[in-house]
Every structure is written in C-alpha cells, then in structure tokens.
Chain A
C-alpha cells in the first residue's frame, strides 16, 4: 500500500492475505482437487506417463529421486527447466516441481514456466538456513513439509497452500512420516479440547501465529490440505497414512525404485482410494514384486533431511 497513505493492518483474514490475481482460495482449491490422490516423483517424461496411466493425480518432476540423492550425495538443486517442460508436455495431470528452501529465484523460474505447484522441499539442499520463501509473493501455489503443528502453521503463514509431512524421503521407511502425522493430529486433538484462554500460551509453545492456531482449533484440522510424504513405499503404507487422517499421499522413490513400477503405482493409487477397505488393499498388494530397499533410521550415519529446516 505504499504511496496511498493507507496502512494495511496485519492479520485481517487469518490465512487469506493475498494478491488479487491469484487468491488464496484458488491456490488451496487445486490442492482440494488433489485430495484422495497420489502424487508421484518422476525423473523423465516416460515415468510421468507411467504415473499418469496408473492414476496419479499429479506428478513431481525432479532430476533424481530422493533415494538417489541420498546415495550420490552432493548439492541437490532445482531440476533443469527443460526437463520439467518435457514432463509437463507429456502429461495432462498437474505437474509439481521442487525448489530449494529459501531459494525464491528457483521458485520464480518454476512460476514462469507454468508449473502447477512448487514444493519448497527439504529434500533438496537448503539455500537459506534461516528464511523460507515468502510464498505470498507468488501467484503459483506452494506445498511445504512439516514435522509438527507449529511448523505446519508457520509455513501456512508464509503462504503455503498445502502441507505435507516431511517423513524421511528416500528411505522407504514410513516411521518418520507416521511420527510427523501423529504429532500434527495429536496436537490438533489437544488444541480442540483446550480452553480458549490457554491458546495464547499454546501458540507460544508451538511457535506458531495465534490467529492460525485459533483457526485450527475452530476447524478441528489444518486450514489447508494435508498430505503424507517421506518413506511411503507400499499400498499398506499409503492406506495407513490415509487412515491416520491425511488427505492424500506423496510417493517419492517408492514407485520407481521398486521391481515393477507401473503395477506398484497402480496399487498405491487404489489403496489410497479404498484405504478403509482392507479387502481391496489386500488384493492390490498381492504379487507386486520387490519393494524399494529400505534404510534403517536407527543408523546414526543416515542424514535426517527433516531436520534441515524449522
């Protein structure tokens, strides 16, 4: 509002501070259309086609799946825009791409090539150790990772229109994703039963903005769509995340690092739709071939991507 002499008072609408061109409702709206779906990591157009054919509701375009980033090490950055464009041309479902935490120029590049969603991801090497991207400045929506309620609400305040658990990407081990979703849901349950007078102190404790904490209390859930991510490798993992209360699932290395990607992708998609129907989950889990090799997270040497940002 510079120049008009009008000062905008902070905090008018709890989460909907936004630009005219791309209102927050439209950003959240796409995430709502993805609910009950599976978003798969793909590294080329061919994999994107397999994912689309299996019934993925979106694909995440990246250069290396998290398992390879773990194995190869080095600095992981945004993918080559050319690769992302190729993937975008190959499919009709939404295409997401990852930008490094705090690297707003990577996000600007992704916005300019017409990506549908940006994942500000801890799987890539962090570009800014203190600050995340100010996502209100973008017309394109963002998804961000979280480990607990406070972290989720901080990201939403920064403009994220969708939240996912961090889990531990590239491990094929669902333990961290379960921990994170349990932590978010558990905190929301505590909050829901809390006296209004106690919410101020609770907001301070979880280091989240009061208005969003209060809104979460009233809604009984996060004010944006919440997916599970980080370590989902089997249809059962995916159905577990759905039963724990997630709106959908990201599958990273789990599909294309397995023996029969097309079949596993399809099975995970079906397991997410029929997550409450054990007979269907059992049926689709039969004869899927080898799952990705998992990593035991008790090993001290395994780097924790989830701890890369707060």
Chain B
C-alpha cells in the first residue's frame, strides 16, 4: 500500500515520517502523473495559497478533482482542509482555486494570526472508538482554519470551544453577521464525508498516530485488498532509501 502525500509545500515530511512509523510508505506527489501510482492522498498543512499556486502552475487541479471523484481516500490537514472544502471564505484578494468535494464552508485563518495559534486537548469519540487510546487528542492549531457549516452527509469528528478572549479579528466588511453568531460558541475542526477526511489541526506534529491509522483504515474499507496490505507494505520500505532526518516532536 502506498499513500501519496502532496509535496508542493508545507508539512509533507512530517506526514511521511508518521506513515513510516506506522510501517507504511508515503510517496511525495508533485505532478499529476504521480497520482496514478497511489491509492490514497494526504494533503498536508502549509500555506494554502502557496500550495494552490503551485498546483495551478503544474496543472494539478483537474487530476486532484478526478482523484477525489473516483472515491480514493483523501485526508487534508489545515491547508488541506481548505483545499477539500466546497467553499472557503477569508481568502486572498482574487480568491484561490480549490479541489472541493467536501460539503462544508471553511473560514481560512479562522483563529487569527500566529499569536492566536494554540494547542488544546480535543475530545475525539470516533477516533477513540476505532483506535482506542486516551479519550482526548492534542490538537495543534497553527493559524488554523475553522469549519463554519457542514452539509447533512458530513460527520463531525471534533469541535473546539472558542476561547472567550478571542480578539475580534474579522473586521472585513465582506463577512456577514450570521457568521459572527456561529463564531461565538463552538467551531468544528474535524470532519469525515465518505472517503474524505479533514482536520483543521496538525496530527502530523504530534507523537499520537491515531488519526493516521484511522485514515489508513479508511483505505482498507475502500478496497478488496483488506488488511493484509498493511503487513505487506512494511516489507516494501527499502533499505536503500537515504536516511531522513526529521524534526523532533515536542512533548511536555
């Protein structure tokens, strides 16, 4: 089993490192033709505008949309969530291209600038039910997006309570009051719709691999190969691969 990681920009190395810990080979995807050799795709965190520009330069969007439409499992973290959303607000002037497919509205950079970035313990009942482990997951939110509304077919996997002292960031006149009301209480930060998974936070920055193995199980559900593929793939990690040196995961 080979999982592709969109490697235009952002935390793709981190995702590949987590996959490696789970015994799964992650391959970097930068060009449309590389999508044909993978069965699932992770779209990492990063700057969504940058990733959109790079995808546009190499004409990746049609291939990505096709990949989603064919029912291949795709998981977007942070910028990847924005990519998968049908609608995004708070974009740069002129907007940006999206892949779409996930029936929800995402607010880009919902929580504000870096000074409002935070970590919190998230309640993740669905993940605990499937993967076990502690009842909460440490969510790292970096200039993160928030999901403002979801369609009926979308399953909500995690929400976060908004800190009350959150500065009123949304001053732009284009954003309406209705949104303001939603923003007062909880905001959705992880969803699943069919073969699409999306998180506003960064499981790839933590030592907890449950989200990744949850995603890998979506792959198994999706195909006939079933779980034997997991065992096979660990043998595929060739020894000749040059060693990759990754950044530390910081615990407290």
SS class, residues of chain B in contact with chain A: loop
Name the interface residues of B20-57: CB closer than 8 Å to any CB of A. 30, 45-47, 49-50, 53-54, 57
- Taking CB atoms, residues of chain A closer than 8 Å to B12 are 35-36
Closest Cβ of chain A to B200, distance in Å, is 13
With A and B bound together, what is the CA distance between A12 and B94 in angstroms?
A: 48
B10 within 8 A of A: yes
CB <8 Å contact, B114 and A37? no
- Taking CB atoms, residues of chain B closer than 8 Å to A116 are 113-115, 143
CB-nearest residue of chain A to B46: A33
The number of A-B residue pairs with CB atoms under 8 Å apart is 146
CB <8 Å contact, A139 and B50? no
- Determine, out of B122-130, B231-239, B242-250, the stretch whose residues face the partner at the interface: B242-250
Closest Cβ of chain A to B93, distance in Å, is 7
CB <8 Å contact, B53 and A29? no
Q: Which of B11, B53, B90, B243 contacts A35 (CB 8 A)?
A: B11
Closest Cβ of chain A to B85, distance in Å, is 15
With A and B bound together, what is the CA distance between A277 and B119 in angstroms?
A: 37
Closest Cβ of chain B to A187, distance in Å, is 14
CB <8 Å contact, B248 and A219? yes
A53 within 8 A of B: yes
CB <8 Å contact, A115 and B9? no
Name the interface residues of A220-268: CB closer than 8 Å to any CB of B. 220-221, 223-225, 266
Closest Cβ of chain A to B231, distance in Å, is 29
Name the interface residues of A15-69: CB closer than 8 Å to any CB of B. 15-16, 22-26, 28-30, 32-37, 49, 52-58
Known contacts: A16-B252, A22-B115, A223-B247. The answer to whether A29 contacts B140 by CB under 8 A is yes
CB <8 Å contact, B13 and A141? no
A285 within 8 A of B: no
Q: Which of B13, B53, B92, B250 contacts A25 (CB 8 A)?
A: B250
CB <8 Å contact, A55 and B252? no
A273 within 8 A of B: yes
Known contacts: A36-B46, A56-B50, A92-B109. The answer to whether A25 contacts B11 by CB under 8 A is no
Closest Cβ of chain A to B97, distance in Å, is 12
- Taking CB atoms, residues of chain A closer than 8 Å to B9 are 35-37, 57, 273
Known contacts: A16-B250, A35-B13, A219-B248. The answer to whether A30 contacts B50 by CB under 8 A is no
With A and B bound together, what is the CA distance between A88 and B172 in angstroms?
A: 13
Closest Cβ of chain A to B46, distance in Å, is 5
Closest Cβ of chain A to B4, distance in Å, is 15
CB <8 Å contact, A269 and B143? no
- Taking CB atoms, residues of chain A closer than 8 Å to B10 are 33-37, 57
CB-nearest residue of chain B to A224: B247
A199 within 8 A of B: no
Name the interface residues of B43-79: CB closer than 8 Å to any CB of A. 45-47, 49-50, 53-54, 57, 78-79
A215 within 8 A of B: yes
CB-nearest residue of chain B to A226: B247
B117 within 8 A of A: yes
A104 within 8 A of B: no
Known contacts: A29-B140, A140-B115. The answer to whether A53 contacts B11 by CB under 8 A is no
A contact set with B: CB distance below 8 Å: 13, 15-16, 22-26, 28-30, 32-37, 49, 52-58, 88, 90-94, 111, 114-117, 139-141, 215, 219-221, 223-225, 266, 269-270, 273-274, 277
Known contacts A16-B251, A23-B119, A32-B11, then 11 further A-B pairs from the complex at CB < 8 Å, ordered by chain A residue:
A13-B250, A15-B250, A25-B250, A26-B118, A35-B12, A93-B50, A94-B113, A219-B245, A219-B247, A266-B53, A273-B9
Q: List 15 A-B contacts (CB under 8 A).
A: A15-B248, A23-B119, A26-B119, A28-B247, A52-B92, A88-B113, A90-B93, A94-B47, A114-B113, A116-B113, A139-B115, A141-B114, A215-B248, A220-B245, A224-B247
